[in-house]
Amino acid sequence: MDITDISYQQICSARTVQSDQKGFFNEFYLEVKEGCGGKWLKHYFSQLKSNEARILSIFSDREVCDTVLGVLENVAPVYKGKDGVFSVQRRAQADKFNLLGDFKQALAHANLAVMRAPAKDVDIDIDNGLSLAMAYRSRATILINLGDGQTAISDLKLAASYGLELKDNVDYYIKLAKAYALLGETARSEISLKIAEKLSGNIALREAFEKELSLIRSYERSQPAVAPPLASGENAALKGASNLVKLAETKEKGRFIVADNYIKTGDVVLCENPLTACLSPTYFGSHCHHCFERLITPIPCVNCSGIAFCSAQCMGEACDSYHRFECQFMDLFIGSGMSILSYLALRVFTQAKSVENAIQVANAMYENLCAHVENRQAEDYLQRSLMAAFLLRCLQKADYFGRRKSEGVNPTAVELQVGTALLGLLQVLQYNAHEVFETKISEEHHFEGSKVVYVGAAIYSTGAYFNHECWPSVARYFVGKKLVLTTIKPHKPNQLLAENYGPIFTKNNLKERQRALRGRYLFDCKCMACQENWPTIHKIDKQVRFRCPTPSCMNVLKFPKDLAKDVRCARCRKNVSLKTSVAKIIRIEELYRKAAEEMHKQNVSEAIEQFKEGIEMFFEIAVLPHKDTIIAQHSLIKCLADRGTTFM
């Protein structure tokens, strides 16, 4: 590897720890690196053989410990808190726009009021400590006017749970009656209305209620994407995988997924929930921190205002596990500039049922997944060790280990195990994590101008075993955080099922792909596209390379010059006719054309079936690269992604 490739590799590696060069962690790392000197790195730190020894050294070795301890001692909570005055102001604006009939603006202000409102009794000088309850009540009113009865009911219940007085509260029961009516739940609506009538003693209440309700149009809620079933059921040995696949292992490739049986085009071979997943900070204001669903009516953490959830359920699940340790450090994490992979490493611990369980999970990942320890430089180990120490210090300050006897930075025996495991995770996540994406579509057409938007990252225990090829044999998409892999070609038993890690032959030439893969993943790709140096999509001709029709012969034959004559196969030494194969190619091209028409009409299911049939037939008689088949596979990938998480 020449010097430019080594530099590129170092840049790629550094970015998996520190994603923002403006963050303070980069300054911390450079200060330690410059302070310790090249001799210490080369002659001492580089000779350490274990992650535990590396973590111990940065806390105890006199060349670095003063700087490390000096920075880590200053780690303290930094987060966006609540602001009752701001919440009251936004609520007033929301009520104003609601009266004016501008419900979109009203909802935007109400969301801000909810996000910044202190919880019950936090600030009794503002709204008698009921700011959050009153913000939810205001938002429920707006949601009813928007016709969204389901979310309005949720907000009304939250208002009650945060202290809204229900006794003699006529307005509350009228709102509840309207919300139930919008959902078509007549019996519940009638009960709520009767309570309101009884509390008010107003016999004219029903007439006004029905008149107001008649002016509201019910909200049509879009249906979320649904994860597909696995082909042939779930594999007992591989979490989330189909029974059609198995795990293989070689010295050269490590562990990887292959077919255990014949697999058809379009078979779902993986549908897996992540071991852990983290939303990118860029999307903290637009997506649920827990399930990644896009936010319409955010539900806040009761302590911080920096993140939001899509429902009380997601908020409860997050705050009962990982967020209670991360909450007060969210702005510190963002300010550090740490990468999404560093968030993932931390989340393995914060979401675990116990410290012991987290250590066990982290160590298992380090033992079973590729970390490329043999290729790491001392500077890389130092940077990751410092990030592990920073994350460990945040856990200490968040009382993850319970109340410590000392406020000192130096780790206890258990904390050392956690720091060691964090360092291991920072190595394996570099090569095994997935970027989670959703597909942006337009209202006019789902496929014209659609694009992938990356919203987070996750680690999948089985998904991590899928190897790379520069033209994949599976399509990847996500339903929320769930990873779905579907085949885009047939597979024979023991044939590799391959993902694509980014560099793809249709866009990048061989030199570009190999450089990118060496720099980011430290391997030289030997897939068929690389071995045969396939041209990019614009340079592929439309010639077909046929399989020899002789059973068991693996030779490939060119398109015949004269269909009336047999072709001599150089491998099996037989004269063979390609008439049937040529006839099938004509049928395949017709299937691709019809599929493209259905795709243009946005008849997604019909397009998928046509593409599947054509691709399946192609691989019976021919081999890649074939321009029309590659375009068909690419189109199939887009159709399958449309079944995942999309937004406009």
pLDDT value at 118 more than 50: yes
pLDDT value at 123 more than 70: no
**% of the chain at pLDDT higher than 70:** 96
Distance, in Å, from the CA atom of 219 to the CA atom of 153, rounded to the nearest integer, reads 13
**Does some domain include residue 460?**
no
**119 shares a domain with 68:** no
**157 shares a domain with 117:** yes
What is the pLDDT at residue 11? 67
**46 shares a domain with 94:** no
**Does some domain include residue 245?**
no
What is the pLDDT at residue 7? 64
Q: What is the mean pLDDT of residues 591-607?
A: 97
**119 shares a domain with 56:** no
**184 shares a domain with 125:** yes
What is the pLDDT at residue 257? 98
Distance, in Å, from the CA atom of 338 to the CA atom of 565, rounded to the nearest integer, reads 66
CA torsion 301-305-311-314 (nearest 10°) is -50
Please, are residues 209 and 215 in contact by the beta-carbon 8 Å criterion? no
Q: What single string gives the DSSP state of each residue in 561-573?
A: S-TTS-EE-TTT-
**Does some domain include residue 424?**
yes
What is the pLDDT at residue 340? 95
What is the pLDDT at residue 5? 61
pLDDT value at 638 more than 80: yes
What is the pLDDT at residue 563? 86
Distance, in Å, from the CA atom of 92 to the CA atom of 101, rounded to the nearest integer, reads 14
What is the pLDDT at residue 218? 84
Please, are residues 166 and 196 in contact by the beta-carbon 8 Å criterion? no
Look up the CATH number of the domain holding residue 195: 1.25.40.10
**114 shares a domain with 67:** no
**Domain total of the chain:** 3
- Tell me the pLDDT band of 359, cut-offs 50, 70 and 90: very high
pLDDT value at 20 more than 90: no
* Contacts (Cβ under 8 Å, ≥6 apart) of 132: 87, 114, 117, 118, 119, 120, 162, 302
The pTM is what?
0.93
Q: Mean pLDDT in the chain?
A: 93
**% of the chain at pLDDT higher than 90:** 85
Q: What is the mean pLDDT of residues 33-45?
A: 92
**92 shares a domain with 64:** no
Last residue of a domain, one of 402, 433, 464: 433
What is the pLDDT at residue 483? 98
- Tell me the pLDDT band of 55, cut-offs 50, 70 and 90: very high
Condensed to tens digits (0 to 9), the pLDDT of residues 426-456 reads: 999 999 999 999 999 988 898 998 999 999 9
pLDDT value at 223 more than 70: yes
Q: What is the mean pLDDT of residues 334-338?
A: 94
Condensed to tens digits (0 to 9), the pLDDT of residues 529-554 reads: 999 999 999 999 888 999 999 999 99
Please, are residues 107 and 75 in contact by the beta-carbon 8 Å criterion? no
pLDDT value at 1 more than 50: no
What is the pLDDT at residue 385? 98
**559 shares a domain with 616:** yes
Condensed to tens digits (0 to 9), the pLDDT of residues 153-164 reads: 999 999 999 999
pLDDT value at 600 more than 60: yes
**411 shares a domain with 299:** yes
Distance, in Å, from the CA atom of 180 to the CA atom of 184, rounded to the nearest integer, reads 6
**401 shares a domain with 280:** yes
Condensed to tens digits (0 to 9), the pLDDT of residues 183-205 reads: 999 999 999 999 999 998 877 78
**Does some domain include residue 280?**
yes
**Does some domain include residue 449?**
no
**283 shares a domain with 188:** no
Q: Which phi-psi region, left, alpha or beta, contains residue 92 (left: φ > 0; alpha: ψ -120 to 50)?
A: alpha
- Tell me the pLDDT band of 128, cut-offs 50, 70 and 90: confident
pLDDT value at 124 more than 80: no
Radius of gyration of the chain (CA): 30
- Give the structural domain span for 192: 84-214
**597 shares a domain with 555:** yes
- Tell me the pLDDT band of 12, cut-offs 50, 70 and 90: low
Condensed to tens digits (0 to 9), the pLDDT of residues 503-513 reads: 999 999 999 99
